[in-house]
Every structure is written in structure tokens, then in C-alpha cells.
Structure 1
Amino acid sequence: MENITPLRKQYLDIKKNYPEAIVFFRLGDFYETFEEDARIAARELEIVLTSREMGKGLKVPLAGIPYHALDNYLSRLINRGYKVAICEQVTKPGETKGLVQRQVTRLVTPGTVVEPNLLDSKQNNFLLSLYLTEDSCGLAFADISTSEFGCTQLDINGLEAEINRLNPAEIILPKSQSLNLPLHLKATISKLDGYYFEADVARERLLKHFECQNLSAYGCENMPLAISAAGALLNYLEETQKSSLKQLERLAAYTISDYMQIDSHTLSNLEIFRSSGGNSLKGSLLGVLDQTKTAMGGRLLRKFLGQPLLRQEDIEKRLSAVDYFFEESLARASLAKALGQIADMERIANRIRQKTILPKELISLKHSLETVSAIHRQFGLMPPPRLAYFLNGLKPLPEMLDIINEAINDDPPSTLGEGKVIRAGFNPEMDKLCSLAGDARTFLSQMEAREREQTGIKSLKLGYNRVFGYYIEVSNANLADIPQNYIRKQTLVNAERFITPELKEHENLILNAKERLLEMETGLYEQVLNQLGGFYSALLSNAAALASLDVLSAFAEVAVRNGYVRPVFHPENSLVIHRGRHPMVEQGLGYGSFVANDISLSAEDCQIIILTGPNMAGKSTYLKQTALIVLMAQIGSYVPAETAELCLTDRIFSRIGAREDLSAGQSTFMVEMVETASILNTATSRSLLILDEIGRGTSTYDGLAIAQAVVEYIHSQPSLHAKTLFATHYHELVELANYLPRVKNYNIAVSEDRGEVVFLHRIVPGGVDKSYGIHVAKLAGLPGWVIKRAYEVLTELENPAKKEPKTRTCQPQLLLPLTEQTSALAEEIKGLEIESLTPLAALNKLYELKKKAEEQGL
């Protein structure tokens, strides 16, 4: 340590406190990185890796970026999961003896980003905190760019769904705990000392933050695990932000049972937030519904989709507002145009509170406030009854508008210090400094022109840099023409730089004026932000009102474009949808091309529909569209149907598609069974189940037996009786309708003409006994020989009596010698009264005999 430079020692002292972060160390106009940080920065940012001598015989790897380009480079590192410690110079050169003092002013992590250009405008950037026990979990989340702060305590089985809903950028856990994330989530995992999650420590942190005696007012007093998670989250934010967290004014505790519950598999299967094919917005329900014009509206729509309502009164309020915009096309169009001029007032409010807002953003806010006044004149003076509830928070803020108009120039620069941010007339002393700075700029311009004329050097120019100050630059070709009073200051490859006594004298005046100008403008700007900060809550109220109007008018716009209708809710446990459609498939095909279908499900009559039919005919689409219509209705949207009479649904479950969970060592079939078990154990009579091909991941008889047992259980369990759509290739299951009264059979209509098969995509009553799998294989492009041979084999299997024996070489032995065991099985078969057996009973008996044969090694 004795041989290193003071700068090196200063860096090491800072770096040891941030071992997991890349330290951006401010050196003049650059942020430098050293050693391993430099190697990472050079690789990830594609910048030059060099070295610097920082001690006797010590060369240290170095990579730097210009300070003004920080945001561009920061985004690349944060998006790749890195943490970055921003180390600034906190004193000016010459203010203190020795080195400029430096300290980390902020630790930027994926979950603590606040820069607008680093954020997705229509998506929250959540930091999630988890505290896990064997069967329960405390969860807290915060978005410091929007001031949202919430917590809950839930069963461990519901955790994945809640993580999916929130889609956090970063998750913090105690060091002793671990978490397996869903594959599509790219959240960074950060570990925190378990001390911060301890009940007393976390509670005390929350009480101190909210300056209160207990947490009853926040609804989490009886959620000890949620308190642990929330308290630890606050500690983490305090450590990373190095500043007050005043924007987190309230903690919103909730329980997941307050909303329709949708597990993570169902969110994925129904493609609520992202399509399953491209994992993108296009092809998702969000992609269909998102006609929002504001960033706040886009974020609120995501919240609506993740938390469908359970109280009919709340749903009807939203639907009534959608009604208004659906009927009033001029009002809807006028509002959409106005909303298009609204900035992200929610995030702007928080940047004002944090004093990080740029002058240009204040001008965006000014225009937004003017638009708020216009929207208020249109809707707020005489609120339409159907909108009144959502207009409560919409209040013009003329005082805030006046402050910005009086203090800030109409077209300010992005940075302070040039006297162009604060409006002339706002502060007399500031005006004097601006005049002095302006005179200095005039002098420099005049001096450059004068020197060119006196020397005859047309290319002569005045310039400035931080090292040498102001200078006169003359190219090498004109050096013979310079006057004697020019003092050489710097030699370049193609030119020389000079100063003169006159230039040096004015330099001091100019730089002093600039420094005073920066100091005064910065102080005045902070005063303005303090004034604007007083409108923080009112600004957020306006943002919330505008977000609601944005989402509800967007629902109306989508409904008008696509021919959606208002759903009707009733108390009976049933749903009846006439000519329902799948919103995403319909959008892909084009309006009018989709084949609409009816559905009627009732806990008292048609509780379970067994749906049979070929692949590619539309079974899965029919299942999903029913669930999507129910979900859309409960977020307050119109739905794709001619009519929809629905009951409130507490949960939607789906078991669709095949997937493995290799990280947990589970096969496709095991995953299917685990998901099915979860559904059967947690569904209620108010739930909607959509089950596709249960049992297909194992042998035919095993799969059929499981599928039948599942249907019987759903039908017969008094605590279950859930409305269920059950798609299957096991055509034998249609027999269940003969003895289970609330089971009905439906199938996908198919037209056959001269060997050609056409899928009509219409759902009709009754079961089918053909799968048309070979036809689907033909559509998929299998070779003609394979298709022809498949039809031959199918004919042989369907008509075993007509099968002609063929002589084969190496024919395996198909007949077993008669033994005591085979004789017993034969006698049991002989004793069967086949005429008295139903087809299903016969199938079950066959399965039983097969099992006995296998057990006996036959």
C-alpha cells in the first residue's frame, strides 16, 4: 500500500464497500473504471481497455466513458443485470488540500433505476422483496419512479403467480434463502443480510419511515412476514439511493384473495401479458387491449389485467364509464387527442420530489397541466354521471402552472449554468449575471474578429478547454504571421495555441461570472422545485384520474373497433356466452373471419363440457376464449361476443400444453399431474377450469383412467363443482354423460367430402369417435408415402377381423404357452357377462385384466 498513489488509495477505500458493483469513479470529465471493473466495462460497453500507472511499477487496467454519456452506458450495464456505484467528486479542485473528495452518491441496480430513458414507459420497474418460510411468504414491492409501495402475505403456492404479475426487475432475499425463477423472468437476485428481515428490525424501520406508532393504518399489522419483507426493502433502498425516500408516502397492504386469482401457468397459457410463441406484446391480450395514450394508463392496464375484480359494484363502475365512451364517439376522440399530449406526470412528480428532474421535463409538465385544464373543462365542470367516480382526482393546478411560467424559459437547455433555464425577470441579480456573461461572449466574438483582421489569418479562432482556459489557435501554415504579444501555450500536430495578456484578463472575469451564474441558477432552480414539490399529492391524484380515463376510453375504442359488447353479471353460478370469439386469434385473422361459438356452463345443469374433436380444429381456442371473456369482463372491459351473461369467477385455472421442469427434475407428465393436483386441491364452485388433454403424457389406459377420475372428482366433490371445459382425445369419456348428470358432450364439427376433410370450427352437441390425426399430419407436410401407409395401418387397426395374415420372416412369438396364471386369467375372461357391461365398464375391466397380466409377467 505504501507504493500506491493517493488516488489509487482513495479508489480502493471506496471500492471495498461495493464489491458486487462496478464503480464509476469520476475523474474530471470522465467516469473511470479500474481492474476487473474495467475489464467488464470494456467487454460489455465495447470501449477501449488501457492502463494507468498508479504506484511504483504498478500499472492498473483502466476503461472510461465521458461523464455526459453516463445514461447511455448505464442502461447497457443495468439491462444485463449489473449494479453500478456512481462515485462523484463532491468538492471542487482547490477547495481542499490534496485530492478532490469523492463519494458514492447512488448505487444503481436494476430495481432502483429512475432515469426516464432507462425505463419502459408503460411498465413499472418493481423492486421485489421476499421473506420465505416453509409454507408462507412475505412479499413487498416498490417502484421508486412512481412511488408505489405495497405488501402482502400469501401461501407459498401462490408466490410464482404474484411474481409473474409484478414482473420485477430485481428481487432481494435474505442471504440464507434461494428462489427458482420462472424461465421468462430476467430479474436480478440480490442477497441482503438476514438481520434486516428480522421482525423487530423491519417493523422499527417501517415505523421510523412513516413516523407512526403502529402499522394498523397500513393494513399490515397482522402480516408479520410482509412487514419483514417491506422493512428490508426500505433498508435496501436507503442503501442504494443515499437519499430520503419521502416519495414512498404510503404502504398499500393487500391480500391476493381480494382479486380473481390466476396462477402463473394460466397467465402464460392465456397469453395475458406476452404471447407464448414470440414472448412479445403482439399476440397477447395486453397487445389487443392497449390503446392507451399515456404511460400512466399503460401501467394501470397491466395492473387491471393482473388483478381482475371480485366485487360486482366495482366492475359495474368501470363498465358504465366504458359505456359512456362507447356511446360518445366525439368525447372519446377528443379525450384520446388530449391524452396524447400528457407526459408521464406520475414519474415527473417523483423526479420533482427527488430533485432530479431536468428543465425540459418541467416544460413537458407545463404542457400537461394546460391539457389537464382542458380535459377538466370538457368533463369536470359538469361530470357525466357515469364518469363522476373517476373524475374525482382531476383538478386543474393553475398555481403550479404559474410557477413554471414565471420561472422557467419556454425552451431551456438540458443542463444548468448558462443562464438559459431561469426566465429573464424572475430574479434581478440573475439578470445582471446573465448580462455580464453575455457581454463576455460578445467580447470573445469581437476579439476573434479583430485578431483575424489584424493578423490577416482567416483561420484563426478562439477556443476553451478546462486545462489551459481560453486560447488563440493558429495553424502551422500561418505561424510566421503571429504578433509578438502572442504567448505560446500548447503545441498540437497541425497548430499552435497562444494566449495574450488581454485574453487572460478577460478569462478571469468570464470564468468568475460563469461560476457565479451556475451557482445562482442552480440555487434558483432548486427553489422552484421546492415550490413545485408542494403540489406532489395533487399531481399524483391527477395522474391517477387521467390513467383511469385513459384505460376505460381505450376499452371503449377496442370495443368499437372489434364489435365487443358489455357483459351482464348475475348471481347464479353460470355463464352463457352467445357467439363468443377469441380476441387475439380474431385480431390475427381480421375482424369477421373468426368462427364464433356459444357456450353455456352452470353448476346446476351443465357443469362440465367434454369437448372432443381433431387437433387443429379449435378445441384449445374455444377453451381459452371462454376464460379470456370471463377475465376481460372482470377487469371492466367489453367482451368479444354478441351477448355474455356471467357470474363472478374467483379463480381461473388452466392445464394446457406440455412442458418439462428440468430444473426441478420433473418430466412432462409429472408437471401435468402436479398442475392438475394443484387445481383440484384449490378450485372452488366459483372457479372456471379449462383442462386440455389431461393424461396424454402417459400410456393410453393410464391416461384414460386418470382423465376419467378427474372428471368424476370435479363432478362429485361437493366442495368443488367448478364449471369446467375438458378437451380430450379419449373418446371413451363421452360415456360419462350417461351417468354423470351435469356432464355434457360437445365436439368440433367436421365436413368430409370425397376423402377431403374440412374443419368447420363450430362447436356442436355430441361426442365424436374420430381424431383425424392423419389429416393433420398431411396438413403438416409429412411425405405422401407416410400418409398413405398411415391410412393402411389405421384401416387394419379399425378392422382387425378383415386383416389377412402375412408371412413374415423373423416373426416374433405372439402366443404364450398355457400356464397356471394364463389359465386363471382365461377363466376370469370366460366368466365375464359382456352383454351387461357398459362400454366404459368394459374398458375398466380390460384395464384391470391388463394390469394383472403385467404383474404376473405375462
Structure 2
Amino acid sequence: MATKEQTPMMVQYHQIKDQYPDAFVFYRMGDFYELFEDDAIKGAKILELTLTARNKNSENPIPMAGIPHHAVAAYIDILVDAGHKVAIVEQMEDPATAKGMVKRDVVQLITPGTKMSGKTGDGKENNFLAAVVATGARPGDADQAAFALAYIDLSTGELKATELDEQNAVIDELGALEVKEVVLAREGERATPALADAIGERGWVVSYQGTVQPSATITYLTKELKSAAGQDVTALLLQYLFDTQKRSLDHIMPVQTYQRQAYLVFNQVTRVNLDLVENARTKQKAGSLFALLDETKTAMGGRLLKQWLIKPLKNLEAIRARQDAVAAFKDDFFTRGTVQDQLKYVYDLERLAAKAALGTLNARDLVQLKRSLQAVPDLQAALLAEHVNPILQEAGRAIDPLLDLASLIDQAIVPEPPISVRDGDLIQPGYDELVDSYNQALADNQDWLAAYQQQEREATGISNLKVKYNKNFGYFIEVTKVNLDKLEEGRYHRKQTLTNAERFTTPELKEHEDLIFAAQTKRFDREYELFLSVRAKVKEEITRLQTLAQKLARLDVLAALADVAENRHFTKPSFKEGEDRSLMIKQGRHPVIESLLGPGEYVANDVTFADDTKIQLVTGPNMAGKSTYMRQVALVVVLAQMGSFVPADETILPIFDQIFTRIGANDDLVNGRSTFMVEMAEANLALQDATAQSLILFDELGRGTATYDGMALAQAIIEYLDTNLHATTIFATHYHELTALANNHPAIQNFHVGAQLTADGQLHFLHQVQPGAADRSYGIQVAALAGLPKSLLHNAEQILQALEAQGAGQVEGDAVVSSSQTVAAPITDGLAQEVPLFNIGPAPVEAPVSTVAASLDPADQKALDELDRVNLNQLTPLAALNLVAKLQEMRSNDGQNS
């Protein structure tokens, strides 16, 4: 807050800062933007600026850090990319003519969700800003969604809205969009404090917006929305933009509504597990499915490809329309090549249109726009050729090349304009008579200057006398000091003294200087005026530009998918209609892994689900390929439903509504969740939300807890899937004992990943998924491949044999049971009772070992008596090994004594 002791400038600063307490205030002072107080201290650290102070000699100097105005964009990007907001404060009047304190105000608030510029190479990334409001729906009211969500990419003008039933769906949709900032209502029934906490936990920037003001623009942009909640959330988002950007936003397109259920739905866990848009390990694009598919030539195409990838379709007609277009491009190499060659010259038309609307389009941007539009006629001609597939011909006829706009820019703007639009040299000769006259006057004056220089040389006898110019001193006559004695007294008026020369002027030179400056100023003003008129014309054509951008982006994606299909031997999948949920993938492959291997190294696999088969139970050793097998099925489904060809020889699929995955082992320590808790929570998402039309991939469920607990949960989940959901499921497990479930559950089919164990104990993976169950898990053999000490492995073998001898983990009927495991029942009447772990039929009867060994010799009988006294429930693997050793020693000693 301002105090009486503060200067008028700091009072003004605090008045502005109080309005933007959560932003860095960049306060314009002359050629610098200044940061003060806490902003200066924090900003100096983040931006690596020199921290100085204002009023250094006072008792309380004010921390201060400055940034040159011409370099400010880079510093703003750093702060915004780090999740901060920046308020730009400009001088609203000329300091030279201002009376008293120069008026200043915020001209723009730049936030993570409203940032327009980006890092080099990220043109294929959207920058989404979202808004969410609560709809006031009652819990359990199936007719009304609980939340409304709208989002926009300010750099392209794309605006969309939807309604969602629960908070988890909101969080997942925000994650899928990779939003940078979320706007919430400041107060009232639309406020969502619980959601704000959930959003903040995920690291997204939360902003608040107050009252929405009536606006014709908001009414126009939301006119297609039918629901009040959709209108409310979109209006909230638009009001936030109007309040922060404070400039024209004419490029924003009318809102489009969508239903999340209209697309193949998968949550953030699935996107990560499948490496769809980034590699889960490196967090980079490389190593993802998006990177493999991205053969697009334009930034617009790259963004659209990513949107198709994260929102595959469910509408079969729309899927087939994309497939047919991909097939048309794939079958016509020359047309595809011509289209892609021309697309290389197309800049980001969506963002150029946005810059025109925002008033930030410069002359070089205009040239980029012209070159983009000049590439369209050849692209269009290639599509309209007589031999071309009618699908592509139709796409060509739908294109408006905007030849009028390209011609205007070509006639008006020079091919290589400067960055600044205020310093002239923008307009083509012959475009404007007035500019041409100014240029002629300047050229004539240059001739006069050359003649004047020659005149003065002859008059003074100084052959190296020069008439020169610089920005600080204008035009002058320069004479070296060794020639000063040749000048007659009073001929020139001294202007500047240098080490080796003197600079002079004359009334005649000053007169012509004034003429030149006047002509230059008038030329600059006229050229800027003409530039603005061209930019205004571009702004008038924003809708046409955006439509063209959308059509070129679609062509770009379709051609890219055709490229991938041809180069990576993808084929066109077929789809089943009706109730038939059978599935067939012949020689399917994981496209990303295949791309990382050498030719012919990837082992393809068939995947078949008969209509009456719902669950594939896949067993086999670690590293044999179970997870890859599962992931490749999911990727084939995603690719197929986004309209792409797929990595398989032949594919017939049903349409899926959702994909759920539980793959890998990850904890969530920040939120206090162990690996096992995360595992169960992710499994629960599928068990709660999946339908018979869903695809479920479960990998190693139950491994995060004790063996019997894990095996029990795994079996119970499989049986729940079979009994309740009937979803297409691949369940990979090391619990090979579970394969017995297929005996009593017709919908379960056993598969295993082939492996060979040689005579010397070496394990070789075949990476081939085959019908039938695995006979063992090969865990110790995989440990050997990891290089564990041989003595340890030998010890493990002995422990394993001891455990297997006890019958641990046998499958009896439908249930996995232990030969002796029981659990404590709830305490009743003060007494703890022991009950079987699984209440399925009569519990197995435990008989003392001695009752079945009466005929044994005394040494064996003694060993069995010792074994009979052991409580197997409390026996650890190491204790079991020690017990076996003790029993062997007892028999050996008794044998020697006898």
C-alpha cells in the first residue's frame, strides 16, 4: 500500500500492483521495464537480473531490477513458462508533453493460458486455457451434468465446451488437453472450491473471474449453446480474456460443443501407460506414438494430429471417411508428394490470423502469409487432376485459396521487409504514388548531397572532405584535422570534435537536411498507413483464413497417416457392426517398439477374441513380452478409431467406448499412496466405469502385496470381470496358478508367452503369444539374466522347491488356496476364531503328518514328528529352508547312529 512518504511514481505503482497482486508488474519507464520490491527480488533470481535499488541512500531503499524494452518478450516467456503471470504497464501519454506524473496503465496481463508466443519448435503444441463451473446438479441426478467446461487456444481462436458428470472426469479432460491454466468463478453457486484444490494439486495455474458483463460479442460466440451451464462457463472464460487481454479478439471462433462420450475415452493413466503423446520415462515426444505418426508438414497439421490421437472416434461413418481419405492418399504417391511439398511452404495460418486480430502482425508475417497462400494453387491443382481419387478431388474443390489476399500482399509489401513497421522500406515501388514521390525526393536529395560534397571539395581543395550522416547528429561535413588549416575562417559552423576530425554544418546543408527529414518522416508515416490498411484487409478475411487453415491441416494429417501406412506397412482395419464383440488382429505389432528395432527383429503376434471369449489370461516370464502384447492391442484400437491404418496384416475390430489400463508399478508418495494403493485405485477405475464395449488391460494385478492377498485379489477381479462387466480384457499375471480358472469359466481363455529353458538353465524368450497356460513363472531365471549372484540364485531355487513341496498357492476348483492358510475372523464373544481364507466349499482338513507315517523307520518318523510341530502359517521362506536343512541333518545323524 502507498504511504505518505512515497513518491508519486511509487504511489502509482502500488495502485496498479494492488489490482494484480498475483502477477509480476513490468512497469514501463523510458526504454526499460522495471520490477520493484518483492517482484524485483523474485524476478532477479528467476531471470538472473542484477538487483539494484531505488533511493539507495534512504533508510529503506526500494529493490529494483530492469529489463530493456526490446528484450522483454524473452523474459516474459521465462516467467510465464514457470507458471507466473505478468502485467504489462505502459506509458499512456508522451512523457515530453505530459503534465505532472505520466499516466500509466496495464495494457495486457500475460498468463500461462493466454501466452501467444512460444518456444522454438513448439508450433505443434496447443496452449489451452480452460474454465470450469459447477452446474448445481443434485448428486445422483442422471439428467443433469455436475460441471460445465470450456477451453480455448487464444493463439488460434479455437473455442469448445462440454459438460461432465463428475470431478474426476473434469480433471481427466483437463489433463488430456494439457491445459496451462484454469479459470474458476470467484464466488456464488458456480464456484468450485473442492475442484480448485484438486486442480492446484496437479500443478495447473488457477485464476478467478468475477462478474460477467453483458456483451454482444459473448452473445454471438455462445449463440449455438443450448444449455445454460455451457453458456455460463463459456461467458466466464471469455470475460477473463477480455479483462486480461484488453484488445481486439476478433479471431475467436463461435464455440463448438462436444460430448466426451462421443469419443473413445481413456484417462491420464492410460495415456501415460500407452506412451500416446510423450514417452512415460523421458517425458519427451520422442518414443511416443505421436512422434511416430507425426509426418505432418505444418504446425496446424501437427496440432490436429495430436487432437485426433487423444480423441479417437466412435462414429463408424466418420472413422471410415478418414480411412478412405488415408487410403486415397496412400494409393496415389505422386499426388500425396505434391501436396506435402506445397504444405512445406505453408506457415501457421491459424496463428497468423490471430496475430492479425490482435494487431501484432508485422510485415514479415504478411510475407509469410503471402508465401503460404501462393503455395495453395499448386496444391489445389494436384488434388483436382483428372486421375485423382474423387475423395481428394472433393477436398480440392472445397479449398478457397484466397488469391485476392495473396495478390494484395504481393503488390504492397516488399519481399524482405524489416522487422520494424515504423521505419519505412515496407512498400513495393509502384504500389502508392505518394510513397514513390517521397522516394524520388529522397533520391534527388542524395544526388544533391553527392554534388554538394564535390562542390565543397573543389572550393576548399580538400580531396577527402566528406558529407556524412548519423542518427545522432544528422548530416554534416567531416574534415580531418590535418586539413583544417585549408579551411577559410567562417566558412563552416563547428558541430562536433573528434579525435582525428572535425564535423561542421552550413545553412545550405541544414536546409537540405530538413527537406530530407521531412520527406523521410512523411514516407515513414505513409508506409505505416499503407501497412495498416493491408493488415486490416487481412483481419477482414480471418474467417476465410481460419477455414483454409482447417482444411489444409486435415489434408496434412491425412497425408501424414498415409505416409506412415506406406513406410511402416500398416493396413486398413475393418469394423464389426451390431452386437458381435469378436476381435481379430493378424500379426499385430507394437509400432513404436518395432520402429526402434532393426528390420525383421520384431516378433508379431495374432490376437483373437471369439464372441464368447471376454478374458485372455496371459502368463509367462517377465521380459517375455506380455506388456508389449497388451499395449499393442490398445494402440491398434486407438489408431483404428482415429481413422489411421494399423500395424497388422489384417484387423477386424468392434467399436470400443473406453480403454482402461493398469500397467507398471508407480507410487504416489506426494498424496500418501503406496504402489499397491495406486494399483488398486487404477484397477477400480475400470471396475467402476467399464462397460461391455470397453477394452481393459490389467498387468500383474496383486503383486504389490503378500502373495496370498495378491492372488486372492487377482482371482476375485477376474471373476468380477467375467460375472459383471463382460468387457474385452487381457489380464497378464505371474500367478500361473490362476490359469485353472479357465476350466470353470468359458469366457476365460489361457494364453502364454513362449520361453525355452535350456539344459544348462539358460532362459530364452520367444516373444510369441501362444494358446494355453504357462507351467511356471521363471522368476529365478529372469533374475539370473539380471546378473544376481549365483549363490543367491541357488539359495532361491532351494527355497522355491521347499515352498512348492508345501503346496503353497494350489488351485482347488475355482479358488486359489493354501494348504494351511487361514485368516482371523472378527472377534466374537471375546474369542478369536480361525476361518478358511476362501469360503468355497468345505475347508481342507489338516491331518497330523504322524498319522500317515506309522510304517516309516524311526529316523523318518523323528523327522516327521518335528515337521508336525511346525506352524506353516508362520513359516517364512528362509525358515522353511532352514527347516529342510534341519530335517536332512536329523535323518543323516540318525542313520549314522543306527
**TM bracket, shorter-chain basis:** 0.7 to 0.9
Instruction: Name which of 34, 39, 42 aligns with 1:40.
Output: 42
1:387 partnered with 2:392: yes
Distance 1:577 1:452, change over 3 A: farther
Aligned residues: 803
Query: 2:673 is aligned with what amino acid?
Result: Q
**2:16 counterpart SS class:** helix
Distance 1:452 1:399, change over 3 A: same
| Pairwise CA distance, 1:561 | 1.1
Query: 2:284 is aligned with what amino acid?
Result: S
Distance 1:58 1:714, change over 3 A: closer
- Give 2:883's aligned residue: none
Instruction: Name which of 699, 708, 712 aligns with 1:701.
Output: 708
- Give 2:582's aligned residue: 574
Instruction: Name which of 219, 225, 230 aligns with 1:210.
Output: 219
- Give 2:621's aligned residue: 614
The more displaced of 172-181 and 263-272 is 172-181
In structure 1, distance between residues paired with 2:300 and 2:563 = 18
Instruction: Name which of 152, 158, 179 aligns with 1:168.
Output: 179
1:154 partnered with 2:164: yes
Instruction: Name which of 319, 327, 331 aligns with 2:323.
Output: 319
Distance 1:585 1:452, change over 3 A: farther
**2:660 counterpart SS class:** strand
| Pairwise CA distance, 1:514 | 3.9
Asked whether the equivalents of residues 87 and 103 of structure 1 are also in contact (C-alpha less than 8 Å), the reply is yes
Asked whether the equivalents of residues 23 and 33 of structure 1 are also in contact (C-alpha less than 8 Å), the reply is yes
| Pairwise CA distance, 1:444 | 7.0
**2:336 counterpart SS class:** helix
Distance 1:284 1:170, change over 3 A: same
Query: 1:618 is aligned with what amino acid?
Result: G
**2:334 counterpart SS class:** helix
| Pairwise CA distance, 1:164 | 2.0
- Give 2:637's aligned residue: 630
Distance 1:518 1:736, change over 3 A: same
| Pairwise CA distance, 1:143 | 0.8
- Give 2:825's aligned residue: none
Query: 1:180 is aligned with what amino acid?
Result: A
In structure 2, distance between residues paired with 1:357 and 1:725 = 53
Asked whether the equivalents of residues 376 and 395 of structure 1 are also in contact (C-alpha less than 8 Å), the reply is no
Distance 1:640 1:239, change over 3 A: same
The within-5 A match list for 1:333-372 is: 333-372=337-376
Query: 2:170 is aligned with what amino acid?
Result: L
Asked whether the equivalents of residues 615 and 722 of structure 2 are also in contact (C-alpha less than 8 Å), the reply is yes
How big is each residue's C-alpha offset from its partner over 1:564-600, in whole Å with a ceiling of 9 and x where there is no partner?
A: 1100111221210011000111011134211000111
Asked whether the equivalents of residues 87 and 102 of structure 1 are also in contact (C-alpha less than 8 Å), the reply is yes
Asked whether the equivalents of residues 3 and 56 of structure 1 are also in contact (C-alpha less than 8 Å), the reply is no
- Give 2:893's aligned residue: none
The within-5 A match list for 1:185-224 is: 187=204, 189-193=205-209, 195-196=210-211, 201=212, 204=214, 208-211=217-220, 217-218=223-224, 220-222=225-227, 224=229
Aligned alpha-carbon RMSD (Å): 3.7
- Give 1:26's aligned residue: 28
- Give 2:417's aligned residue: 412
Query: 1:326 is aligned with what amino acid?
Result: K
Distance 1:68 1:474, change over 3 A: farther
The more displaced of 699-708 and 492-501 is 492-501
In structure 2, distance between residues paired with 1:643 and 1:582 = 14
| Pairwise CA distance, 1:481 | 9.9
How big is each residue's C-alpha offset from its partner over 1:16-53, in whole Å with a ceiling of 9 and x where there is no partner?
A: 33332223333333333333333334333333333444
In structure 1, distance between residues paired with 2:14 and 2:520 = 34
The within-5 A match list for 1:574-613 is: 574-602=582-610, 604-613=611-620
| Pairwise CA distance, 1:797 | 3.4
Task: Spell out structure 1 runs of 4+ moving beyond 6 A.
Answer: 54-58, 441-461, 468-500, 820-825, 849-854
In structure 2, distance between residues paired with 1:13 and 1:456 = 63
Query: 1:790 is aligned with what amino acid?
Result: A
- Give 1:69's aligned residue: 71
Distance 1:544 1:830, change over 3 A: closer
- Give 1:402's aligned residue: 407
How big is each residue's C-alpha offset from its partner over 1:427-484, in whole Å with a ceiling of 9 and x where there is no partner?
A: 2222233344555667778888999996979799956456x76778999999999987
Asked whether the equivalents of residues 618 and 761 of structure 1 are also in contact (C-alpha less than 8 Å), the reply is yes
**1:271 counterpart SS class:** coil
How big is each residue's C-alpha offset from its partner over 1:196-223, in whole Å with a ceiling of 9 and x where there is no partner?
A: 4xxxx48x55x652348xx5x52x3225
**2:714 counterpart SS class:** helix
How big is each residue's C-alpha offset from its partner over 1:707-729, in whole Å with a ceiling of 9 and x where there is no partner?
A: 11111111112xx2101000011
| Pairwise CA distance, 1:649 | 0.6
In structure 1, distance between residues paired with 2:801 and 2:628 = 30
Instruction: Name which of 760, 782, 786 aligns with 1:776.
Output: 782
The more displaced of 689-698 and 505-514 is 505-514
Asked whether the equivalents of residues 418 and 518 of structure 1 are also in contact (C-alpha less than 8 Å), the reply is yes
Asked whether the equivalents of residues 126 and 142 of structure 1 are also in contact (C-alpha less than 8 Å), the reply is yes
- Give 2:89's aligned residue: 87
- Give 1:691's aligned residue: 698
| Pairwise CA distance, 1:160 | 2.8
TM-score by length of 1: 0.85
- Give 1:299's aligned residue: 303
How big is each residue's C-alpha offset from its partner over 1:647-687, in whole Å with a ceiling of 9 and x where there is no partner?
A: 10111111111222233322222222222122111111111
Asked whether the equivalents of residues 393 and 542 of structure 1 are also in contact (C-alpha less than 8 Å), the reply is no
**1:680 counterpart SS class:** helix
**1:645 counterpart SS class:** strand
In structure 1, distance between residues paired with 2:16 and 2:530 = 33
| Pairwise CA distance, 1:410 | 1.7
- Give 1:670's aligned residue: 677
Asked whether the equivalents of residues 613 and 771 of structure 1 are also in contact (C-alpha less than 8 Å), the reply is yes
- Give 1:739's aligned residue: 744
The within-5 A match list for 1:645-660 is: 645-660=652-667
| Pairwise CA distance, 1:358 | 1.4
- Give 2:439's aligned residue: 434
In structure 2, distance between residues paired with 1:595 and 1:442 = 79
**2:19 counterpart SS class:** coil
- Give 1:750's aligned residue: 755
Asked whether the equivalents of residues 693 and 729 of structure 1 are also in contact (C-alpha less than 8 Å), the reply is yes
Unaligned runs of 5+ in 2: 140-145, 808-830, 837-841, 850-870, 877-898
In structure 2, distance between residues paired with 1:785 and 1:613 = 25
Query: 1:299 is aligned with what amino acid?
Result: R
Asked whether the equivalents of residues 611 and 619 of structure 1 are also in contact (C-alpha less than 8 Å), the reply is yes
**1:418 counterpart SS class:** coil
Q: Which has the larger radius of gyration?
A: 2
In structure 1, distance between residues paired with 2:478 and 2:65 = 30
| Pairwise CA distance, 1:752 | 1.7
In structure 2, distance between residues paired with 1:109 and 1:186 = 14
TM-score by length of 2: 0.82
In structure 1, distance between residues paired with 2:50 and 2:463 = 38
| Pairwise CA distance, 1:324 | 1.1
In structure 1, distance between residues paired with 2:51 and 2:74 = 18
The within-5 A match list for 1:434-513 is: 434-438=439-443, 464=470, 505=511, 508-513=514-519
How big is each residue's C-alpha offset from its partner over 1:92-122, in whole Å with a ceiling of 9 and x where there is no partner?
A: 3444434554332222212112236678210
How big is each residue's C-alpha offset from its partner over 1:357-415, in whole Å with a ceiling of 9 and x where there is no partner?
A: 11111111111111111111111465632335644641222211221122111221121
Identity %: 39
- Give 1:140's aligned residue: 150
1:180 partnered with 2:210: no
Distance 1:446 1:737, change over 3 A: farther
Distance 1:665 1:439, change over 3 A: farther
In structure 1, distance between residues paired with 2:705 and 2:502 = 84
1:714 partnered with 2:721: yes
In structure 1, distance between residues paired with 2:675 and 2:626 = 21
| Pairwise CA distance, 1:276 | 0.9
Distance 1:472 1:657, change over 3 A: farther
